[in-house]
A and B are shown apart, each in its own frame.
Chain A
Amino acid sequence: MGDLFANLYFGFSVSLAPYNLLACFMGVFVGTAIGVLPGLGPVATMSLLLPITIKMEPTAAIIIMAGVFYGAMYGGSTTSILLNLPGEASSVVTTLDGYQMARQGRAGPALAICAWGSFIAGTLGVLGITLMAPALAEMAVKIGPPELVALLCLSFLLVVQFSGGSRPRAAASALLGFLLSTIGLDPVESTPRYDFGTFTLMDGVGFAPLVIGLFGISEVLINLEKSEKMEVFKGRIKGLWPTRQDWRDSAPAIGRGSVVGFFMGILPGMGTIVPPFLSYSLERRISKRPEKFGTGVIEGVAGPEAANNSATAGSMIPLLTLGIAPSAAVAVLTAAFLTHGVQPGPLLITEHPAIFWGVVTSMYTGNALLLLLNLPLVGMWARLLTVPYRYLWPLILLFCGIGAYSVSNNPADVMLMAVFGLLGYMMRKLNYPGAPLVLAFVLGRLFEEKVRQSLVISRGSYETFIAHPLALLAWIASAILLLYPFFLRGKRTTHFPAEEEE
């Protein structure tokens, strides 16, 4: 323990040096900005920053890049709440209750709780890195394809329940997501499927065009057909800050979201996209008012936003301790290390202690800076709603286009975005939720890959899926989840009216 404090002290002496502190501020500032802009994501931004940072000291360069990565998670919620338009893929879930809050004039509290939730989760996540990084990384590597299959199945079951509306419609939307995830080279033998002979579809549907089209473009289309004086809400903005009751509702959600996000972030492939979904469904599951979810409950905003922040911290663990990149954004961070002649991995902490502890401690500082940066902005963002929509929508379209293009610099992705924009529009018109599609799309790809790898390793024996204790545990949990509503049904109906009388 004494060692730990010595290391932290050493780390802070590095990260609080004026130059590194400035780098940290630059990073989180840029991160917030691109997080707010729909479409522009951390991956594209970090790769644009790489050539700029190459002239800097390695520690400062990594600090600035990491700042962009977790800073983006703060900004991502802003447009989700204000415009029903996820600024980052990780903020898709935030649209569900965040936007409803904005329509009720509660954009301020929603934004503020996002900033606080992100800060708490981010700090808890870094604390997690500080205390248990090496042990956790070793454990994450032990989770093989069969265990992942079970975990993915559990995740999916957890999330399926969350879309408040019609179950069959949510299921149909998820099914479409699964089908879309089968487009492109198959994950094991690399045989092209449903790509119509085009290179763009050979790697499958791009995630950015899908999400930006489905949510961004469709939102603009829906709004444009409403009357010209479209406004998110009419009336006065009711208070900018969360009330005491808001805090009471959100605090446990933030805590749970932080834990879920942190551990999911360590797993390969989950990234920062799946954890918010899980957090949301978890909150809805254990809430005393699940039927209110989707109508603007604050814990439905706080939990997921906490989850995506602690997930960024979690996904740094495999990188810092094993040199493994669990997501695309972390892969760019790996490149940042390598371009400075530093090899991330088990030896990082002994060979470059200044970089390791400097970067880790800069994340504490960065989260504090982000809070200071984002809280004063809440008032400004909330006022954005008073800008007439006719000025907003061309800008939104522009950023959507840039966002879809900038991931692979492929013009065809912009076309793809337009197609998904139309699909999203139709789905909205017919009342099909978009979130299950996105989640099924992400999980589907990973699920197929892991099922097939498991079966190759086990020579086609399905026993492999229950042979591992962790997998078995996940299956049992899944079974309980499936049966749980049947047990609860009787209890709920007797319980609820009594509570409402209070």
Chain B
Amino acid sequence: MPRRSLFLLFVVALVCLPLQSAHSANYPSYPVQFIISFPPGGPGDTTIRIIHPALQKNFGGAIQLVNKPGAGGAIAYTYVKKAKPDGYTILSTMSAPLTVGTALRTLPFALDDYEYIGAYAFGATGIVSKPDKRWKDLDGLLAYIKKNPGKLNYGTSGAPTAPYLTMAAVLAIRDLKATPVHYKGSGPARNAALGGHVDFSAGGFGAMQALLRAGKLVGLAITDNARDPKFPDIPTLKEKGLGRASIGLWAGLWAPKGTPKAVLDKLSAALKKTAGDPAVVKKLNKAGFRVEFVDGAGAKRLARQDHETSREIMKAVGIKKK
């Protein structure tokens, strides 16, 4: 029965495929899946899609992008944590679910459940308001809140997000009171400020930039370490002595714990080369991200630092872990 034996051969081949690939010498021998914890079009989705063609070339193998959104990233993080550490399932996303998420909630994954491959794109929290407000800058805003305690509303990108923690921390540090109105994401929070429904908003800086450039919104502060060259007039919180409120928001790559070092190094090297590609840098800048390659060990340090900052802010503001 030749047909049947052919079928058996096919089955055997299918079964052997993953076995063979476990040898990292010929890695990658079939497409590597990058799991994205955001829906298509989300912040962590856009960054990887921008670098995807260049990364694939530098990596020398096919990379498949798979969106597994949901539960604030928890579905993707758990999926990768449980995946076989053979280098064929990689987590490609933003740091926040891991760093901020695990501080705010009890989740079945932690900072140490992953191998860190590297970080490449840095976002920031932006604090914005309309240009016709009584204040012109962050100091003006904070002084106005001081005179009108509890009167102002501010939009946030959501209760369990870094921009809310940052804004709450700024207010807590200066001992001020304003009411947060939580929206679903940075886009809606920005629109709330634009439409005048709230007095100012805190959300992902990338989402604000088109309207800032058009002069429809004014940037009061960002959380990044340095000013954005495209917006040299917007100060950082660090400059204002509010550095403790800054939580990093960055895109990186992670692998399941136990992934061979050779695999991690290969991916890390490809990511480093990609982050140095001027065309990639330009596109990421346009999308609102600063590009800098940070290696695995460095990314792990950043994650730990962001996690600690989140916990300190929660303690200071009085937010309980759920």
Interface residues of A (CB under 8 A from B): 43-44, 46-47, 50-51, 54-55, 141-145, 185, 187-192, 199-200, 202-203, 268, 322-325, 328, 331-335, 338-348, 408-410, 449, 453, 456-457, 459
CB proximity to A under 8 Å, residues B34-56: 39-42, 45-46, 49-50, 52-53
* Interface status of B75 (Cβ within 8 A of chain A): yes
- Segment of B63-71, B86-94, B112-120, B235-243 engaged in the interface with chain A: B63-71
CB proximity to A under 8 Å, residues B56-100: 65-72, 74-75, 78
List A contacts of B183 (CB < 8 A).
453
Closest approach, in angstroms, between the C-beta of B96 and any C-beta of chain A?
Answer: 13
CA distance A322 to B195 in the complex (A): 12
* Interface status of B283 (Cβ within 8 A of chain A): yes
Residue of B nearest to A455 (CB): B181
A332-B41, A456-B181 known; 18 new pairs, CB 8 Å cut-off, are A43-B40, A50-B49, A54-B49, A202-B72, A322-B191, A331-B42, A338-B46, A341-B287, A343-B210, A345-B214, A346-B214, A346-B216, A347-B210, A347-B214, A348-B210, A408-B67, A409-B66, A456-B153
Contact A335 B210 (CB under 8 A): no
Query: Given the known A-B contacts A202-B70, A331-B40, A332-B40, are A145 and B197 also in contact in the complex, defined by CB atoms under 8 Å?
Result: yes
Pick 29 A–B contacts, CB within 8 A, sort by A: A43-B40, A141-B195, A189-B182, A191-B322, A200-B75, A202-B72, A203-B70, A322-B211, A332-B40, A335-B45, A338-B283, A338-B287, A339-B49, A341-B283, A341-B287, A343-B210, A344-B210, A345-B214, A347-B213, A408-B39, A408-B67, A408-B69, A409-B66, A410-B68, A453-B182, A453-B183, A456-B153, A457-B179, A457-B181
Considering residues B65, B180, B197, B283, which has the most beta carbons from chain A within 10 angstroms of its beta carbon? B197
Query: Given the known A-B contacts A202-B74, A325-B41, are A55 and B53 also in contact in the complex, defined by CB atoms under 8 Å?
Result: yes
* Interface status of B159 (Cβ within 8 A of chain A): yes
CB proximity to A under 8 Å, residues B155-194: 158-160, 179-184, 187-188, 191-192, 194
* Interface status of B273 (Cβ within 8 A of chain A): no
* Interface status of B298 (Cβ within 8 A of chain A): no
Interface residues of B (CB under 8 A from A): 39-42, 45-46, 49-50, 52-53, 65-72, 74-75, 78, 153, 158-160, 179-184, 187-188, 191-192, 194-198, 209-211, 213-214, 216, 282-283, 286-287, 322
List B contacts of A142 (CB < 8 A).
195-196
B interface: dominant SS: mixed
Residue of B nearest to A48 (CB): B40
Query: Given the known A-B contacts A191-B322, A408-B68, are A51 and B49 also in contact in the complex, defined by CB atoms under 8 Å?
Result: yes
CA distance A340 to B53 in the complex (A): 12
Residue of A nearest to B48 (CB): A339
Contact B41 A188 (CB under 8 A): no
Query: Given the known A-B contacts A141-B194, A268-B191, A322-B211, are A190 and B67 also in contact in the complex, defined by CB atoms under 8 Å?
Result: no
CA distance A456 to B198 in the complex (A): 10
Q: Which 6 A-B pairs have the closest CB atoms?
A: A345-B210, A331-B41, A47-B40, A346-B214, A144-B197, A202-B71
List B contacts of A325 (CB < 8 A).
41, 187
Considering residues A338, A347, A408, which has the most beta carbons from chain B within 10 angstroms of its beta carbon? A338
Q: Which of A54, A188, A449 contacts B159 (CB 8 A)?
A: A188
Residue of A nearest to B35 (CB): A409
List B contacts of A346 (CB < 8 A).
210-211, 214, 216
CA distance A342 to B69 in the complex (A): 25
CA distance A346 to B210 in the complex (A): 7
CA distance A410 to B191 in the complex (A): 31
Contact B70 A459 (CB under 8 A): no
CA distance A335 to B184 in the complex (A): 18
Contact A341 B286 (CB under 8 A): yes
Closest approach, in angstroms, between the C-beta of B213 and any C-beta of chain A?
Answer: 6
List A contacts of B46 (CB < 8 A).
335, 338-339
Closest approach, in angstroms, between the C-beta of B163 and any C-beta of chain A?
Answer: 14
Query: Given the known A-B contacts A54-B53, A190-B182, A332-B40, are A410 and B70 also in contact in the complex, defined by CB atoms under 8 Å?
Result: yes
List A contacts of B65 (CB < 8 A).
51
CA distance A143 to B197 in the complex (A): 9
Query: Given the known A-B contacts A322-B211, A328-B41, A347-B213, are A339 and B50 also in contact in the complex, defined by CB atoms under 8 Å?
Result: yes
Query: Given the known A-B contacts A46-B40, A54-B49, are A345 and B211 also in contact in the complex, defined by CB atoms under 8 Å?
Result: yes
Closest approach, in angstroms, between the C-beta of A15 and any C-beta of chain B?
Answer: 23
CA distance A322 to B210 in the complex (A): 8
CA distance A449 to B184 in the complex (A): 9
CA distance A342 to B283 in the complex (A): 8
